[in-house]
């Protein structure tokens, strides 16, 4: 049973890290600045 608990803890840690990574890697800029901000298109 201890192994199962350890596996659950590791799984939760991985999920937390994935959320943290996604937040950092795919963060949107705060404000639009004309002439500087990227505008995704096509």
- Whole-number pLDDT of residue 1: 59
Of the pLDDT bands very low, low, confident and very high (cuts 50, 70, 90), residue 32 is: confident
What's the chain look like in SS3? Answer: CHHHHHHHHHHHHHHHHHHHHHHHHCCCCCCCCCCCCCCCCC
Residue 25: predicted pLDDT: 92
Residue 4 confidence (pLDDT) above 70: yes
pLDDT in tens, 7-25: 999 999 999 999 999 999 9
- Cβ pair 15, 23 in contact under 8 A: no
């Amino acid at each position: 049973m201890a192994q199962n608990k350890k596996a659950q803890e590791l799984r939760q840690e991985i999920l937390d890290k994935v959320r943290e990574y996604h937040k950092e890697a795919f963060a949107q800029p705060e404000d639009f600045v004309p002439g500087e901000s990227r505008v995704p298109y096509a």
